[in-house]
Amino acid sequence: MRWKRSMAYLMLVGLLGLTAYMVEPLSAMASEQSSRVEQTLLAHLEARQPKFALLIPENNLQNMSASIHAMLKDHTYLALDISSWRYSALSFGAFSVVTFTVTYRESKAEYQAVLQGVHYVLQHDILKPGMDAYAKEKAIHDYVVLNVSYDQSLTHYTAYDALYDRTATCQGFAMLTDRLLRAAGFKDIILSGTAVDSLGRAAHAWNEVKVDGNWYQLDTTWDDPIPFVKGRVLYDYFNLTNAQMGRNHFWNHAGLPIADTNYLAQLQASHKASDHALIVQTGLFAQEPQDTFTSLAKLQVDLAAISPKSHPKYLFRFPFNEVKKLSDLHLPYAASFNYQRDARDPTYALVTLTVMSS
């Protein structure tokens, strides 16, 4: 009987044609079988194999689609990299030969180029000696924003596009951000959902990253708005809480870590000079009481006292619904005002005063 079973397996091998792809026999107890099936399947997918086959117990085959979706939920980069997949099964008693056909957005060579490129830019362009976790995360955020422009043609979707073509949709932004963060030692998840901006509601992707024990929401795409401006980095969607991001980003929260740490408060409580420097570098000082105004009279006094030469630009917060009152200011110099709603607290506007040259 053992000889007959071996011959049957060899016949299956012959029918499948191993020159094209590999068949792997999987046999164990039910729970172990399921785990081994997923591990083996994941290994093939991570290797970006377009076609392969597995010899799978019938009891595992019944929930194959659900198992694949559950597995991809835990591997968010891979889930976005897979454009389509399908499988077909050929039953042989207690086992089935399951053939998978997968289309990837990144080829195997492109994915390897992403891993190599990420390692290179981290070592040569991003990470510096003495950086702590928060400084590393900001440097990664800044690299993506400074080097990638949003692809308005909607034809570049991957980390490879973002890294080498320097343009991508939100998916490419999030995928490159994910690989950089993970290669630098951070835990990261790519979130897929929808977001609402001035153009309406649309599918969107961004990141959730764990920094120094705390989870934060991070959207490098929305910190790099259209049109692309060389050297411009925004921090409107940098390290937000779920509640802050949830005002215009929408996603399924089930099974995901909760981002509920106030980033500014975390930096303020730190004893590291580098963390306090981040408050200035990200413009978060405008969130502090001395740069948040509710009275036009108090703002008038403060702005009149600044030196235009030493402060050609000044950032502060003012109630969003009253921002038009800024036109009533009387200053000893000519100035222009640009403002946008504060993503961390939409009741305020973040206002930039720019002294106009004479």
CATH topology of domain 2-104: Ribosomal Protein S8; Chain: A, domain 1 (3.30.1370)
Task: Tell me whether strands 51-57 and 95-104 are parallel, antiparallel or unpaired.
Answer: antiparallel
Q: Give dist(CA 51, CA 164) in Å, integer.
A: 27
DSSP secondary structure, 117-137, as one string: HHHHHIIIII--TT--HHHHH
| Distances from the Cα of 122 to the Cα of 129, 135, 174, 176, angstroms | 12, 13, 16, 12
Where in the chain are the domains? 2-104, 108-281, 286-355
Q: How far apart are CA 330 and CA 190, in angstroms?
A: 47
The CATH number of the structural domain formed by 108-281 is 3.10.620
17 in helix, strand or coil? coil
Class of domain 286-355: alpha beta
Q: Which residue in the block uniquely carries the two structure tokens 């009533």?
A: 328
| pLDDT tens per residue across all 358 residues of the chain | 444 444 444 344 444 443 334 444 444 434 565 677 788 999 999 999 999 999 888 877 878 888 888 889 999 999 999 999 999 999 888 889 999 999 999 999 999 999 999 999 999 999 999 999 999 999 999 999 999 999 999 999 999 999 999 999 999 999 999 999 999 999 999 999 999 987 889 999 999 999 999 999 999 999 998 888 888 999 999 999 999 999 999 999 999 999 999 999 999 999 999 999 999 999 999 999 999 999 999 999 999 999 888 889 999 999 999 999 999 999 999 999 999 999 999 999 999 999 987 5
Q: How far apart are the first and last CA of the chain?
A: 97
